[in-house]
Amino acid sequence: MMAQKSQRIHELQFGGQSLSPELDDQSTPPLPSIETDERMETDHNISTASPLYDEEVVDDEFARDADEFARGVDSLSITRKSHAEKRADIFKLIDRYYQYADKKVRALRKSQGQVSRTGFGRSYDASSQDSMDLDEVDNWPESQASAEKLKKWELEAQTWDMLRRILPLRYPNKTSLKPTRHDVSRFHSCSELWDEFLQSDSTAQERKAILECLQTSADESRTDIDELVRDYQQRAERGDIIAYGWLHTRSAIKTKKNVNGWSGPLDPNASDVSQILRNESTPLVTQLDPDVATRQGRKLQPEDEYFERAIWLGCYELLRRGRSIAEIRDWCVERTEVWRAVSMSAMPLSKDESQSRFSCDPLSMLLWRRTCFALARQGGTDDFERAVYGILSGDISSVEKICEDWDDFVYAHYNALLRTQFDAYLIKRSPLDATTAITQAFPSFNAVQFHGDATSVGERLVRSLETNTKTCTEAKTPMKTLQAAIISNNLDQYMYELGLALGKSANKKGISTLIPNFGDPDQDVDESKFVQLQDHDGLRVLVHVYLILSKLEQLQGGLYLEQSERLKVQQNIISAYVSTLRLSELMDFMPVYCHQMQGDRAFFTLSRNVTSLREDKDRDYLLRLMEKLGMDIAEFVKFQPYSLLQQHPDTEEPGPPFGRFTVLSNDPPTLKLGRPLKPDFLGEPPEKLDDVDEHLIQSLEWFLLVDGLWDEIFHFGTAIYKRFLKQFNFYAALALAERVKCADIFRKKAGIVYSDDTDISWFDEVRASAAAGALEDSGVGPKEVAAAQNYFEMECLVRAINSMETIASSEYIVQDPAENVGRDFWSNIGREVKALKGYMRPILNNWLMESIQEDEDFTYLRDAYIPEMVIGYVSALHFAGMALTRENLLECMELSAVIARKDADVAAVIMKAGRMKELVEGFANCSKALAITSNDKKSTSGISSKRMMREHGWTKELWSVKK
């Protein structure tokens, strides 16, 4: 097992500070309602050096990320707080996860040399715009792996940002007060009506939150605007001059005027002007006002068209990124194009709301929106210009023309929906006659009417993006499907489908009990849209989203409290992540997540994932963590063997008991060996135990680490022994006898210590002491001894079998003349013979006949083992008597008297098996050997032979044959 380290990064100190010193200090400011600098309160303060991990594992990046996220999960289980406090803590946790992901993004950008706000540079395809081709924007020199890593963290940060903005709106505090509506008769500015509109319309609040998230993400990840428009400006052939308008067109007009002697404004319809003022075959504008190209239907000089596109591209990006009107104005002023900022100033919908106050009156706002719509549909010479006015008017088609990715399309639709909603609100709050005049004279695009049923707008939108040629691939990626579920308020169904997909994936190559395939025949799930089991980071994100959502549902009194089939499917997500933690050797985090599961599945998932913990100190550490989390460790320990036996029942019908187990060879008996034992009668030991057998033994080992559970450990231990012995699974039974000794159970649970557990007389002493009441302080009485008796008896059988096989192998070695055996060899045989004699005592005396409950399996085990063990024992004593000391032969003869007693139970079983003749022949062979053997070979038993003979009334001369 892994050695304990004194220093460890993964300290479960939930609610603590970030463990990521490599991240820079800059981060996106938190939402105003969320305090990120507060230390999260938890019920537990788990901070201890873990013995479970090695430094190389601790240094793994996934381990650090998993550690940071695990710190906050425990706060979700606090019970002593009010619902409002719990809700606030959940939202703080979401913001904390966002801050962590955002810092990772900034650190990655910094490491990749992206000092400006750049992500994946994007270039707009200009091939459809009057044959103005644009070279691809040069990418930053970075490896594909690092680029993918940055993109992954950008998507994660965007997801957490979306959740921190939307979930507080969907799960509001029920005691919060509704806003007071202002007097209709009083004049209100658009700013006041905007605030009132948002406070009164939850759908509008959500749409605004989604817009702000998409704006923030674009502002952080897209190429810097100045960098983005640089190529257009270079094609404009104006050097470093970014101001002063259409320089090339102005120069062309001025030159033509001078050459032709024209003065004053030129008439575009004049024949000489039409023929002379041209750029090759294209007529040029005659004036320089902003809408001249649209009004006259003429062109600018090609260089100025590039300049114009650069300006409109910049304006579009400023709006798309949610920049404030002050930033838009500064950008336009720098280019002496302030009129463009004025045209956008009425309602830019900036992400920084404090700088987005609308100073105009409602009627002006209504008229301005419709004017922008007319320009979006009928004006402008460039798609970017029309898209700018499309954003401002709430149009969709004009904006979609230049949308490049999933985010752009969602932004276009939600921008249109929000502006349409506000437009309707302004109409409702303004005088009817004035609004009627405007709406009848100037049309506008109604996005709400375009999308139809308001309750399913989001769901239909994100589904349409799965079929859009520009977005279909991106829309089916795991993180975008998650964001789609967030936007469409369909997270519960998404988590259900994710659980189905994980179950389907986990069961492709075999049955998985940890992540079962629930196989809903009515649910056809596209696995490619969901995170895969090998995507550890994706699972990390999804499990925390699921836990947060489930806790919010519980606070709202949702269905998450019910142990429904739907919930079982969804909890595949937790189970998959717990398995990920195991595979990453982060097992001290597993209780944190299993604690969030419902019902027995918490213990089931944890127990199946801790099987690699073999050292007591590791298991004890995990149990202490569970205790601090409020988990019932006694129930957990009891659950392990119970669930294993339930999951893997011994359903195979056992064959006839007689003859299934053999220790004797088919060779004829000899004077020296009697009837010989079969060498290695247990067969070759397996390289490792069967997984189920190993886990059953481990489940009993956990009992030794928990106080109490006396009856339970012997109940399950007896059941496991019966299982192994009925299956004649000797190596599993031997492992159990070695690893969970009955003497160890008495020592650890009752403090009763015996120095030599091979001397089974300790159990008789305990029985006598318990009957006399001498062990009351240890909590052991006759009832406790009775609970342990069958376990002890089966352990004696298993150890007797093991000793007998060792003796059988020794017989084989002795017969090989090539083997040169020494004193140590005979000493080992003597110890095994002595041990065998002790283990056989319970087998010869009512073995498995006294039990708390009647059990037919005990009768089967008696029939299967007693006849062979007794006859084999006679053969072992015969060999020991000839090879070591003849006292063993005397004991063999005494054995015949023991079996022949009236109260003995062994004879009946041997008679039932039809093997009494074999037993009698064994005794006869032994008596012959005793009659002709007069000298001891090797005295190795360590027992005073004279004293033993006196106690049994034996004499050597009795069996000596005198000549």
pLDDT in tens, 820-857: 778 888 899 999 999 999 999 999 999 999 888 788 89
User: Would you give the DSSP letter of residue 139?
Assistant: P
Q: What is the mean pLDDT of residues 393-419?
A: 96
Tell me the pLDDT tens digit for each residue of 293-317: 777 777 777 777 788 888 899 999 9
pLDDT digits (tens, 9 = 90+) for 248-259: 677 777 777 777
**pLDDT for 548-566, tens place per residue?**
999 998 888 755 545 588 8
Determine the Cα–Cα distance for residues 252 and 250; give it in Å rounded to an integer. 5
Return all residues near 909 (Cβ < 8 A) that are at least 6 apart: 862, 863, 866, 867
Dihedral (Cα; 635, 641, 643, 644), 10-degree rounding: 160
The angle that helices 710-726 and 730-739 make with each other, rounded to 10 degrees, is: 160
Q: Who contacts 714 (Cβ-Cβ below 8 Å, separation ≥6)?
A: 745, 787, 788, 790, 791
> Would you place residue 16 in the very low, low, confident or very high pLDDT band (cuts 50, 70, 90)?
very low
151-187 residue pLDDT tens: 999 999 999 999 999 999 999 887 654 555 555 445 6
- Closest by CA to 665, choosing from 676, 655, 674, is 676
DSSP H helical segments within 629-686, as ranges?
A: 633-647
pLDDT of residue 283: 81
Of the listed ranges 1-15, 519-533, 811-825, the least confidently predicted one is 1-15
Are the CB atoms for 603 and 570 separated by under 8 Å?
A: no
Task: Provide the mean pLDDT of the chain.
Answer: 83
Distance CA 417, CA 210 (A): 12
CB atoms within 10 A of CB 163: 25
In angstroms, rounded to a whole number, what is the distance separating the alpha carbons of residues 30 and 376?
Answer: 35
Asked whether the predicted pLDDT for residue 738 surpasses 90, the reply is yes
Q: Is the pLDDT of residue 880 over 80?
A: yes
Sequence letter at residue 432 = L
- The predicted model scores a pTM of 0.84
Distance CA(885)–CA(863), nearest Å, equals: 32
Quote the CA–CA distance of 98 and 545 in Å, as a whole number: 12
Q: What pLDDT digit, counting tens, does each position of 791-818 carry?
A: 999 999 999 999 999 999 988 888 877 7
Answer whether 555's CB lies under 8 Å from 87's CB. yes
| Exposure string over 24-44, b if 16+ CB within 10 A, otherwise e | eeebbebbeebeeeeebebeb
Q: Is the pLDDT of residue 393 over 70?
A: yes
Distant-in-sequence, close-in-space partners of 31: CB < 8 Å, separation ≥ 6: 95, 164, 165
| DSSP type of residue 41 | P
How big is the CA angle at 546 (ends 541 and 552), to the nearest 5 degrees? 130
In this predicted structure, which of 280-294, 572-586, 680-694 has the lowest mean pLDDT? Answer: 280-294
Among residues 704, 730, 857, 731, which one has the least CA distance to residue 790? 857
Three-state SS for 357?
coil
Least confident of 9-18, 274-283, 714-723, 745-754: 9-18
The full length of the chain comes to 963
pLDDT digits (tens, 9 = 90+) for 899-930: 988 888 999 999 999 999 999 999 999 998 88
CA distances from 882 to 26, 165, 215, 925, 931 (A): 87, 88, 94, 12, 11
Whole-number pLDDT of residue 960: 52
